Copies of this chain bind each other. A is one copy, B any other.
Amino acid sequence: MMKRYLLAPGPTQVPPEVLLAMAAPVLHHRAPEFAELFGQVRNDLKWVFQTQNEVLILASSGTGAMEGAVANFLSPGDKALVVNGGKFGERWGKICQTFGIKVVELRVEWGHSVDPQAVAEALRQDPTIKAVYVQASETSTGAAHDVKTLAEIVRPRDETILVVDAITALGVFDIQTDAWGLDVVVAGSQKAFMLPPGLAFVSVSPKAWRLAERAKNSAFYFNFIKERDAQVNNQTAYTPAVSMILGLKEVLRMMKAEGLKAMFGRQSRLAYALREAVRAAGLELFPKGVPSDALTVITAPPGIDGQAVYKQLRVQYGITAAGGQDHLRGKIFRLSHMGYVDRFDVIMAMAAVEMVLKDLGHPVALGQGVARAQELLRAGQG
């Protein structure tokens, strides 16, 4: 008998209350009850997005919304600046290429945060760039990009939008869509939203809608204008994922009960405690820039294969974490603490990492990292 624990950077743990809500009978999506439900979750989503913009709800993974965030705003031949600081930055580039967009790539060494001045400089060099694509939290490296400062750079430009992949950021740390001026913000259900995979959310600013009116590209399922026109009437263009939306209603109820500030505070406290614990255990954090509070990325110690850590965690301890991707494969391993996570998830994560490293022959003093996490996570601390 081995329990299974999800500490992967998506999908994340789903609260029992949410599983229960999703087990309710399926509503018909053209019934008035659905419109009422849909209206409520649309409103509450705006609260999480900190926006007055429309937030579209899509039956897809986050990547679907990312595709829409390219196809709906740019036309073939348009130029986009893509910040590539990891696997998901790279994905922006691939999507742009698929839709005939000319990509100006700003490469950032994986693990680093982009220098906002490099973005400003790129925009100065090429004023025809219509969109800047970036991650708020680069899930493949654990680094955060400073989208607030990037928005200050992009906001004054009438013909350029800032598109933020906030899939592992929204609900984890403060993303002020309107106050900062983020034009397009993408999120997904299976991260801090504590739902199974299957829903994506995307907010669109008036400036971005203006681009959308003129854009010429192929978008049928991810046609944002069509979706907006349906969703403002609490309808959807195509069949919505009804049970997921029943779950989302419960998620938003839980989020409102906790409050944004308390939620960000909890996530930040857990992330800080795990980072400090990892350091106390004599291990090295991978991100060289600003670490994302969504996940903790640890450099595999010399002589230890990061994939072996990932595998040992899963096979021997029942914990699904994540390894590294592409050239980071074997060099890092990743533990998430997004969403439905509390201090004992962090303590378990640290305890398990210590045990696995010892299993694999790395000299580690069991309990040393754990003790640091315990100290920081005691009642009344932090």
Q: Which residues of B contact A372 (CB under 8 A)?
A: 367
One of A73-81, A183-191, A211-219, A311-319 contacting the partner:
A311-319
Closest to A343 in B: B317
A115 within 8 A of B: no
Majority SS at the chain A contact face: helix
Closest to A19 in B: B16
One of A63-71, A117-125, A346-354 contacting the partner:
A346-354
Expressed in whole angstroms, the minimum distance between the Cβ of A366 and any Cβ of chain B is 4
Q: Check A355 against B379 for contact (C-beta < 8 Å).
A: yes
Q: Which residues of B contact A1 (CB under 8 A)?
A: 254, 258, 262-263, 266, 340, 342
Interface positions of A (Cβ within 8 A of B) = 1-3, 5, 23, 254, 258, 262-263, 266, 312, 316-318, 340, 342-344, 347-348, 351-352, 354-356, 358-359, 365-368, 370-372, 374-375, 377-380
User: Could you give 18 example pairs across A and B, Cβ below 8 Å?
Assistant: A1-B258, A1-B262, A1-B263, A1-B342, A3-B340, A3-B342, A3-B344, A23-B23, A344-B351, A344-B352, A347-B347, A347-B348, A355-B379, A358-B378, A366-B371, A366-B374, A366-B375, A367-B374
Top 3 closest pairs, chain A to chain B, by CB: A367-B371, A367-B367, A316-B379
